[in-house]
Structure 1
Amino acid sequence: MATPRLSNQIASQTVSTQQPIVFFDGECVMCNGFVDILLKVDPQGTILIAPLQGQTARQYLPPLPLDREAWSIYYRDEHHLYDQSDAFIQVCNRLGGVWSVFTAIGVMPRPIRDRIYRFIARNRYRLFGRRATCRMPSEVEQKRFLP
């Protein structure tokens, strides 16, 4: 099943937010691992976090496909909304430092890198597992998580 891409209208839509937000699949073990890393490498809390299953995602994202294998990570910064490999590249760029190395995948044509991204996303539950419910942030993490 083809993954719906953000339309050019949505992808180029100018948005305004105080802090960037990473939207992730709260039931995906791999996605939660990425969030754990994000929490460690961004201790200042410059990037907020919201599950795709939550009300913040419903407010800021286009409708998600019914097929969860077609879901994507999204990254919303002060100006744009990114998905799939572009979202990952933008998060790494925002984090800076050693994470900037991963922005080099941006030289690869988007259709190729998104095909690789889609393969991993389609198989993430089988390869890494699935939680029965979304993660519950610790008391310390709660200020970073949006509902």
Structure 2
Amino acid sequence: MPTSAPATILFDGVCNLCHGFVQFIIRHDATGQFHFAALQSDVGQALLATHGQPHLAAPAADPDSVVLVEGGHVYTHSTAVLRIAGRLGGIWRAAAVGYLLPRAWRDALYRYVARHRYRWFGRQESCLLPTPALRARFL
């Protein structure tokens, strides 16, 4: 599943669960194949508009999905997470077993967690600011 071009992960910049997910990816992405941007950012909204998906980052609504922009395609919800895990390689490819479940079931579980993420994990007042060492990977 790896490709030569970096994929971009768009995430809810104020969500602690999303922040932890981004940190997890950074720790396990030794080749730097992923770039990151907050869904709420101008860059994130412009990227979604470019790919015909501006509704995914509607400023008035809380984003409900991590978004993967890869090879000109936009993936959301459980499919985005499974594709990200697959690109991380190694043991994380085992997440592909998730494709055995119907997408509607996977996405229902994903949306359940997304609906409760602020209550369970909290939220930040502002978007994640990358360290100077990671700044090049954030758009």
User: TM-score range, shorter-chain basis?
Assistant: 0.7 to 0.9
1:79 shift after superposition? 3.6
Q: How many residues were matched structurally?
A: 129
Aligned with 1:45 (options 21, 32, 44): 32
Q: Could you tell me how far apart the structure 1 residues matched to 2:132 and 2:78 are?
A: 31
Q: Could you tell me how far apart the structure 2 residues matched to 1:67 and 1:50 are?
A: 17
Q: Could you tell me how far apart the structure 1 residues matched to 2:99 and 2:46 are?
A: 28
Q: Could you tell me how far apart the structure 2 residues matched to 1:114 and 1:57 are?
A: 22
TM-score normalized by structure 2?
0.87
Q: Could you tell me how far apart the structure 1 residues matched to 2:123 and 2:75 are?
A: 24
User: What letter matches 1:125 in structure 2?
Assistant: Y
Q: Report the identity percentage.
A: 34
- Find the residue that maps to 1:139 and give its secondary structure: coil
TM-score normalized by structure 1?
0.83
RMSD between aligned residues: 1.4
Aligned with 1:93 (options 78, 81, 86): 86
Aligned with 1:139 (options 120, 132, 136): 132
User: What letter matches 2:101 in structure 1?
Assistant: M
Q: Unmatched 5+ residue regions in structure 2?
A: none
- Find the residue that maps to 1:89 and give its secondary structure: helix
Aligned with 2:45 (options 52, 58, 62): 58
Q: Unmatched 5+ residue regions in structure 1?
A: 1-16
